[in-house]
Structure 1
Amino acid sequence: MVDHAFDDTRLARLYDALNPWAPCDDFYLDLVRGAGSVLDVGCGTGALLIRAREEGHAGRLVGLDPAAGMLAVARERGGSSVDWVAGTLESARMAGGFELALMNGHAFQVWVDDDEIRASLAAVRELSGAGGRFAFETRNPAARAWESWTPDRWVEVDGVRVTHEVVRDFDGRTVTFTTTFASPAWAAPEVSRSTLRFLAPDELDGFLGEAGFAVEARYGDFDGSPFAADSPEIISVCRVR
């Protein structure tokens, strides 16, 4: 099920203000520049691919997302300069052979169940060309990022106050939390419920290896620092074996 925060166009329009361009975007943009064809899985509002096209990327750029609200924003901003596809890796029908597949914004963590992870990685592998690369990040569970998802750390954008609250703490696999959007101009707050999977590095590598990917590089943050046990991120750049 798609999170309400992403499916509702009114809420999706807030996404880029809540998540402005950051070092993570620069990291992936550099990879996109070096690839002739790119599939952005969970492309959201499409900011990354739109920036690449604006810079002059002349290759095939495809943004895939199951959230209607996010894709509506992407199409408004990027028009037909990028091929926007509604659906999931398993439901979408498209030609493969991509030099690069990527997932940013911690989109990898929405794959909660083992079978879902296996099926999705197999689909990425099938859509990748010979020697294709797959780059993504997932939060390091050892850093316990969810402990900062508390209502007192609210932010406000465009007159909307946004708060997070964990409703089911880390159980060794997942965390469930709510995101509440409140505005004096709205009749009532909008609440979105999300569940994310947190994978330890060895568990993650097991899934990748099973799907036919070899990890070429791993970083602990988007400044290029190597992964360590207490790193905030597990950033993986993989290649099809």
Structure 2
Amino acid sequence: MDELWTREVAAAYDTPGVGMFADEVLEPTTERLAELAAGGRALEFAIGTGRVALPLAARGVPVSGIELSEPMVEQLRTKAGETGIPVVIGDMAGTRVDGEFALVYLVFNTISNLLTQEEQVACFRNAARHLSPGGAFVIELWVPELRRLPPGTPATVGIADPGYILLDTYDVLRQHVTSHHFHFTPGSTEAHLGRTPHRYIWPAELDLMAQLAGFTLESRHADWSGAEFTADSPSHISVYRLPAD
């Protein structure tokens, strides 16, 4: 997976003020995470370029990170030093960071970058190893869109904008989906194609992974602002909690 996050991709990853970097996205995200940290330390799995970690730290939460891609961390370092946000290079399913944390969080569907069930369960167990008693593990994840997949059709169109098309192809036997990202050059008929593989997880399977690692589900909402999660919600914010004793 680390070969996807090249220096070129890392350099173009940030879109300040737009999309997932927009204030209306980050403000409720960091507000909720700061509330869950409750004055303690936070650890971000797959910290990337610091999209969430930097504004969370600005709220006074001490943040550390784990990140597989060195180029992504290099971009983070242009915005924050090692003393401000310590990062360990490694896999979120097994890499350890010193100390205990009140909160571990994993945002923007990134647990699906682990392509086997075993790795995803290991990710939960790694979160549990880092948490103090009563600590919380928060996951932001999309709900698989298989209801949009007609019988005999292996793909769905997720986005169809003038400059960008997202096409997802499914392998339902392995619970794999490959996202095909077509970026069109303005004024040209040519497109750049990038692909990202994922293993999708149903909410019920995610809850079982949590139980295997000693967590219980504390809450599930449709977004960071606390909207009700329903059968039609495209994604969810799930908060898992370790026992306090």
Q: Is the 8 A contact 1:90 1:123 kept in 2?
A: yes
TM-score (norm 2): 0.80
Distance in 2, Cα, partners of 1:38 & 1:95: 12
Q: Which residue of 2 aligns with 1:44?
A: 48
Picking from 96, 113, 116, the partner of 1:113 is 116
- Do structure 1's residue 32 and structure 2's residue 41 form an aligned pair? no
Picking from 227, 230, 234, the partner of 1:228 is 230
- Do structure 1's residue 2 and structure 2's residue 10 form an aligned pair? no
Which ranges in structure 1 are unaligned for 5 or more consecutive residues?
A: 156-161
1:53 corresponds to which letter in structure 2?
A: A
Q: Which residue of 2 aligns with 1:212?
A: 214
Q: Which residue of 1 aligns with 2:170?
A: 169
Q: Is the 8 A contact 2:94 2:123 kept in 1?
A: no
Distance 1:229 1:33, change over 3 A: same
Question: Percent identity, aligned pairs only?
Answer: 23
Cα drift, residue 90 of structure 1: 4.3
Alignment of 1:36-115 (within 5 A): 36-55=40-59, 57=60, 59-80=61-82, 81-115=84-118
> Which deviates further from its counterpart, 137-146 or 190-199?
137-146
Distance 1:3 1:231, change over 3 A: farther
Deviation per CA, 1:53-86: give whole Å up to 9, x if none: 334x1x5310211012211111111223111221
Distance in 2, Cα, partners of 1:39 & 1:106: 16
Which ranges in structure 2 are unaligned for 5 or more consecutive residues?
A: 150-154
1:31 corresponds to which letter in structure 2?
A: R
Distance in 2, Cα, partners of 1:39 & 1:96: 10
1:135 corresponds to which letter in structure 2?
A: V
Secondary structure of the residue aligned to 1:217 is strand
Distance in 1, Cα, partners of 2:12 & 2:98: 32
Q: Which residue of 2 aligns with 1:159?
A: none
- Do structure 1's residue 153 and structure 2's residue 161 form an aligned pair? yes
Q: Is the 8 A contact 1:133 1:237 kept in 2?
A: yes
Distance 1:52 1:235, change over 3 A: closer
Q: Which residue of 2 aligns with 1:14?
A: 12
Distance in 1, Cα, partners of 2:25 & 2:240: 17
Cα drift, residue 204 of structure 1: 1.5
Q: Which residue of 1 aligns with 2:152?
A: none
Distance 1:148 1:163, change over 3 A: closer
Going by fraction, where is helix more abundant, 1 or 2? 1
Distance in 1, Cα, partners of 2:184 & 2:81: 30
Distance 1:86 1:203, change over 3 A: same
TM-score (norm 1): 0.81
Distance 1:96 1:191, change over 3 A: farther
Matched pairs, number: 226
1:15 corresponds to which letter in structure 2?
A: Y
**What is the Cα-based RMSD across aligned positions, in Å?**
2.7
